[in-house]
Amino acid sequence: AQSVTQLGSHVSVSEGALVLLRCNYSSSVPPYLFWYVQYPNQGLQLLLKYTSAATLVKGINGFEAEFKKSETSFHLTKPSAHMSDAAEYFCAVSPNTGGFKTIFGAGTRLFVKA
Amino acid sequence: DTAVSQTPKYLVTQMGNDKSIKCEQNLGHDTMYWYKQDSKKFLKIMFSYNNKELIINETVPNRFSPKSPDKAHLNLHINSLELGDSAVYFCASSQDEVPGNEQFFGPGTRLTVL
């Protein structure tokens, strides 16, 4: 069974600092991986996704994530945090063979301090 | 133009009542979903429909009944509401049920059962 674990339910950074949100997945074969962002009182929207084309994936708003098969990780980074990045971030995994259910991680709340 | 819309945005009701939440997408997608997000932000899939056919039915009480009159609409009816049903319910859609497709989320319906 596939699963995804987000390390840290809350992450706090200063404006301008590096953002690092951690995600590890469990899958017998490389799956599809996603990062979604949820701003307060809104639905989720896609930041980026990994579909085996390239291990370093660039997304919207300056975010990127690197797929590391050896570490079964898909951590999300942004070089310089902005106040508007404060939100809930979800890592998600979707199998690439059979079954179409996307599994979401528990989410990481990002706080950005002025 | 709203891609995935839900009504109502807020729903406050008494225990034991029956209520419905409506969802519509204008993206031309074939697959639609219902998710439940609890107070800790954990997102869990409830149902998925592909071209009006039920393809995912998670372990959800049978008080919850989805209905898809056409592939652009997926409504959720809840009978005999309980306190534990209080949550934010999200509708989502994707191009089809192929793995790796991005899901587009509605703004959510916050259900409060008193």
For residue A43, give the nearest of B42, B102, B106 by CB distance. Answer: B106
Interchain CB distance below 8 Å, A101 and B48: yes
Interchain CB distance below 8 Å, A96 and B45: no
Q: With helix as H, strand as E and coil as C, how does B19-74 read? A: EEEEEEECCCCCEEEEEEECCCCCEEEEEEEECCEEEEECCCCCCEEEEEEECCEE
Q: Identify the contact set of chain B against chain A, taking CB-CB distances under 8 A.
A: 4, 31, 40-45, 48, 55-56, 90, 92, 97-100, 102-108
Q: What is the pLDDT of residue A53?
A: 75
Q: What is the DSSP pairing of strand B109-113 with strand B10-13?
A: parallel
Q: What is the pLDDT of residue A100?
A: 65
Q: What is the pLDDT of residue A102?
A: 86
Q: What's the gap in Å between the CA of A105 and the closest CA on chain B?
A: 8
Interchain CB distance below 8 Å, B43 and A46: no
Q: What is the pLDDT of residue A51?
A: 85
Give the pLDDT confidence of A57-114 residue by residue, as tens digits: 999 999 999 999 899 999 999 999 999 999 999 999 987 665 567 889 999 999 999 9
Mean predicted confidence (pLDDT) in A30-58: 91
Interchain CB distance below 8 Å, B41 and A42: no
Q: Decide: helix, strand or coil at residue A112.
A: strand
Tokens for B49, please give them: 């429909």
B9 phi/psi in degrees, rounded to 5: -80, -35
For residue B90, give the nearest of A34, A43, A109 by CB distance. Answer: A43
| A100: nearest Cα among B97, B51, B48, B96 | B97
Interchain CB distance below 8 Å, A51 and B105: no
For residue B99, give the nearest of A38, A41, A95 by CB distance. Answer: A95
Per-residue confidence band for A54, with pLDDT thresholds at 50, 70 and 90: confident
Cα distance between residue A49 and residue A47, in whole Å: 7
Give the pLDDT confidence of A5-20 residue by residue, as tens digits: 999 999 999 999 999 9
Q: What is the pLDDT of residue A106?
A: 94
Q: What is the pLDDT of residue A97?
A: 62
B92 contacts B39 by C-beta, under 8 angstroms: no
Q: What is the pLDDT of residue A91?
A: 96
What tens-digit pLDDT sequence spans chain B (114 residues)?
Answer: 679 999 999 999 999 999 999 999 999 999 999 999 998 888 999 999 988 888 888 878 999 999 999 999 999 999 999 999 999 999 999 987 677 788 999 999 999 999
E strand or H helix that includes residue A90: strand A87-94
Tokens for B17, please give them: 């009542």
Interchain CB distance below 8 Å, B108 and A42: yes
Q: Buried (b) or exposed (e) across B61-80, using 16+ Cβ within 10 A? A: eeebebebeebbbbbbebee
